[in-house]
Amino acid sequence: MQFKFSSLSKQAKVTALAIVLLLPFLYSGQDNLTVLEQVQKRGSLTMLTRNGASSYFIGPEGNTGPEYDLAAAFANYLGIRVKVRVANEFGDLGTLLKNRQGELIAANLTRTPKREQQFRFGPDYAETKTIVVYRRGQNRPRELEDLLGLRLSVIAGSSYEAQLEKARESQPGLEWTVKTGMGMEDLLLAIADDELDATLVDSNIFRINSQFYPRLRAGFTIAEHQPQAWAFLPGDDDSLVQKARSFFKLINENGDLLAIQERYNENGNDLDRVGMFQFMKQVRNRLPPLIPVFRDVANAHGLDWRMLAAMGYQESHWDPDAESKTGVRGIMMLTQRTARQLGVHDRLDPVQSIEGGARYFLRMRQRVPDRIPEPDRGWLALAAYNMGYGHLEDARVLTQKQGGNPDSWEDVNESLPLLSQEKWYKQTRYGYARGYEARQYVENIRSYYDTLVWMDTRAHPMLITMLD
């Protein structure tokens, strides 16, 4: 580079000379640092991932997911914070890494021979197997030959493509399509909706998602022992990879790795497949026009719309015209007396019913002692909503008599069935109550709520369709 100083002013000459002298420093400083030193200097590590239940999503309390928790723990191990860059498609992860938009790929990535030519892998932290998933009611595929003629699709850029290519060696007639711009949950939904017949999925991903797709079944295992690991840029600089090896060795030994994996493998939904099937059916058929109402009412009262919606499903399956033999009516199944107290003139009006249900729930929650924190306070209020506050207090008294904590939902939940047993309800102020129904009532709502949160926080395609 050459500068002509003769035509420049004195000040401009000084500025130009300074730039020339600084050029070596501008272009050399960062390049001389290792990747580890760069992230430490910057104070952050960027993980590249995909949105999904088995990797990363935004939950009620912020960023979460198995891969996110691992990456956040790794960043903490390095004394820095973690950042997230979500790829639009699975195949974009490698491009983002090569363009240095992040330091590692953490997205349930299977370590394969082909990928080992593209990336440097850290230590294996999990092992999965690839299974064929199909829709209940179809003939179960039990071997490769059974896939012939099926509408089979897999995610573009995934290891499933290579597995099918290998399978084609023994089954030349095997055909499939690759899907871009879709996630695994989209494919699972497509199978449930009879738009596809089958797909391939990692067993751990299916285990996390299967409760939300009750129509789906596992067919057979197409590939065993698939190791999963983080992917890093190849090259001579393995400083960050070495730190990852030390990190995984540590969390393997202290049990943190197992704790994170088990946290997300737990199935907290107690609904059976029939119950979940019916719920998901009404999510599609009845919930869409009610979502704006649930949102508006919840916002007006500082509540979570998904909780109100879960209550509405438990009460009436979101049927505005619902009516029981005892005379309770509407989406929130209000009694005539309760409706009158709440100023609800038309229980069959969805807006009035949901508004009344919200205020009645708040009335119950306000009676629960302030010292009890959420979520226990909310669960106790739900039990009171179902069976009356007096019976809830009786259950709390029985809980304390038995040595439990009357402020803990877990302990009170164990005592609720006692309210239907004469030996115990004789000791209470308000007598007999169908405590077992209140117990099931709360547990059902928790399951419906968890499902709606799962769909909402993961931008589930079914909810997206509803809100478009």
What is the pTM (predicted TM-score) of this model?
A: 0.59
Which CATH superfamily is 126-227 part of?
Answer: Periplasmic binding protein-like II (3.40.190.10)
- Indicate which residues carry an active-site annotation: 315
CATH superfamily, region 33-124+229-267: Periplasmic binding protein-like II (3.40.190.10)
For residue 265, what pLDDT is reported?
67
CB 308 within 8 A of CB 302: no
CATH of 273-467, one of 2.60.120.1030, 3.40.50.720, 2.60.120.10, 1.10.530.10: 1.10.530.10
The radius of gyration of the chain's CA atoms, rounded to the nearest angstrom, is 28
- Identical topology for domains 33-124+229-267 and 126-227: yes
Return all residues near 2 (Cβ < 8 A) that are at least 6 apart: none
Query: Are the beta carbons of 392 and 386 closer than 8 angstroms?
Result: no
Q: Where are the domains of the chain?
A: 33-124+229-267, 126-227, 273-467
pLDDT of residue 407: 97
Mean pLDDT by 10 residues, the chain (468 residues): 44 49 44 90 95 70 81 96 90 93 94 92 94 94 95 90 92 92 79 92 84 84 92 93 96 92 61 74 90 96 96 95 84 91 94 96 95 95 91 95 96 90 81 84 93 78 52
pLDDT number for residue 27: 37
- Given CA atoms 30, 34, 35, 39 in this order, what sign does their dihedral have? negative
User: Prior bond to 292 cis, omega within 30?
Assistant: no
Residue type, 370: D
Residue 9: what pLDDT?
54
Q: Which pLDDT does position 24 carry in this prediction?
A: 44
Residues in CB range of 74: below 8 A, 6 or more apart: 45, 82, 243, 244, 247
